[in-house]
Structures are given as C-alpha cells and as structure tokens.
Amino acid sequence: MVDIRLLVDSKNHLGEGPLWDVEEQRLYWIDSSASEIWSAREDGSDVKLYYVPTHIGSMALREKGGAVLALANGFSLYDFRSQRLTHIGDPEADEPENRLNDGKVDRRGRFLAGYMSYDHDRFDANRGQRPVRNSALYRLDPDLSITRLESGIKCSNGPCWSPDDRTFYFCDSYDDMMYAYDYDIETGSLSNRRDFASNRQYPGTFDGSTVDAEGYIWNAHVFGGRIIRYAPDGSIDREIEFPVRNLTSVMFGGKDLDILYVTSMGRPIKGVPQREAHAGGVFAVHGLGVKGLPEPRFGG
C-alpha cells in the first residue's frame, strides 16, 4: 500500500532537486528562489541548511567533495564548510533574464543543466500563458569545459537517463512535452530527439524526473498534484495523487533506494492559490514496490 508522509515541513518557497547520496546516506534538496541548500537523514532528522548568494536551479555532489551548482549566473563549485563559491562560467551571461534550472550527472561524471527565463514569474497556470524567451541545455564536463547540447528551450526540466545510458529524457515544461534523445555515454552527445510523452491531457505541466531500476520514468506534475510513472514506450503506467498541488521533483533514496522523495513549492503563483498546510514541504512515498538507481557524483 502506498504511504505518503511529510518528511520535513521545510516550507520552501520553491523546493526543488531532491538528491539522495548513497555515500553519506543523506537527502539533499534546494530552495531555488530562497538561495538555500537543505539536507537531512532518511527519516527527516538532522536537518542542515546552507546558503548561496543567488538563485539556485540544481546541484550535484562532487567526487572531490563539495558540490557543483547551477546558479542564476552560471555554473559554480561550492564548499559546504566555508559556504563559498568558485565560479566556472555562465554561457548565457548576455541573457540576464535567463537562469540555470534543473540538472543531473550522467554515469561518466558530466553535469547536464539547462536554462529557463525569469519570465516564468508571469506564468498563469489556469490561463495557459507561457513565456517566450528561449534558452539552451548545456553539459559541464569534469575538466570544467562547457558545451551547448540543445537550443530553443523555454524551461529546462527533468533530465535523467535510462539504466543502460542509451536514452536521455528531458522536459521543456512550457511545451508540456517530455522528449527522448539517443545518448552517447562515451562522448556525452545527444541525437535523434523525439516526442516521448505529452502532458496536455492533465492540469499543470512536467517538472523534475527520475528513472527507476526497471527503466520507468517518474515525473512530478507541477500545478497538477500528481506523480506519474511512464513506461519506456511513453505510456502511462501509474498515477499517484498528492495532498499538495505544486510538486516540483522526485528522487529515489533511503538505504534500499525504495523511498520516493518529493519536493514541493510553497510560494503563491499567479492563478495557483496555495491552500495546503504543508505546501513547500518534502515528502517521502513508501510502499511503491520499486527501487531507484544510485545518483552519480560530478567528476570535476
């Protein structure tokens, strides 16, 4: 039986990016617009809080210690003890209305993250108004070089890989579409983009994703109040209704990788009133009967 529990009543403004680290046996997540990094144990205890000087879109832990961050002003390395940044680069420095958003690490230690526009603050979830500013998806290699992989993106979300590393899944939230690409794990290159799944039959849109050990994709439907599991052919395998509407991302964790951690949004969005008592909290879903995969660390 599926059991949804409030793990941490963090009241995040824009909770995002749950990240379970198998080495530390800790859950990390971010509050994107509050410029915060949070962490806790499997049961939600021992909560720790770190700060960054600007909006944060995503993070990954590093093999060398610390983290790599996707920030409003580009990629940076982060030291948890000093809470200081080492700036790497901002490939869209000439677009001040764009900021880095969702990102994850492939199984060769590369960090893929894409931009989105601050125009999302003008998004009306009920009227379907969409921002028009375009941005791109980038790859940060362990040598700290940055490569553009895809252009014409409005809101980068949900990067994740199939267990065999041959397929890369990626969402453009404002297109209501999840795409699949052929992925070359040796070079980190993308090809053969095709439509994988559409969200146009549901309220809300795609947000963060993860892939389980069976190769099925789990996605948080922001403004839609549900988690959906997609089969490798793009068909809907399972739906889980949630007690809060504005879910943002998902990640399997726990010592057996069988708990689905879910972040949420606490801030009000135009057209989306916040009435739930635990909006902005982090949730743990037990009893799903499936397991996730260990999340890699950034190789740089």
In the annotated binding site, the residues are 16, 99, 101, 119, 157, 207
Nearest to 72 by CA among 13, 110, 39, 118: 118
Q: Which two tokens stand for residue 99?
A: 């900021």
Question: Checking DSSP bridges between strand 189-198 and strand 177-184, what pairing results, if any?
Answer: antiparallel
Under a CB-based contact definition with an 8 Å cutoff, are residues 165 and 159 in contact? no
Q: Which of 90, 175, 207, 212 is catalytic?
A: 207
Q: Which residues are annotated as a binding site for a divalent metal cation?
A: 16, 157, 207
DSSP secondary structure code for residue 45 in this structure: -
Q: What percent of the chain is helix, strand and coil (3-state, nearest 5)?
A: 5, 55, 45
Q: Which residues pair with 144 in a beta bridge?
A: none
Q: Is 106 a catalytic residue?
A: no
Question: Checking DSSP bridges between strand 111-117 and strand 98-105, what pairing results, if any?
Answer: antiparallel
Under a CB-based contact definition with an 8 Å cutoff, are residues 181 and 167 in contact? yes
Could you give the CA distance from residue 68 to residue 60 in angstroms, rounded to a whole number?
5
Q: Which residues are annotated as a binding site for substrate?
A: 99, 101, 119
Instruction: Indicate which residues carry an active-site annotation.
Output: 207
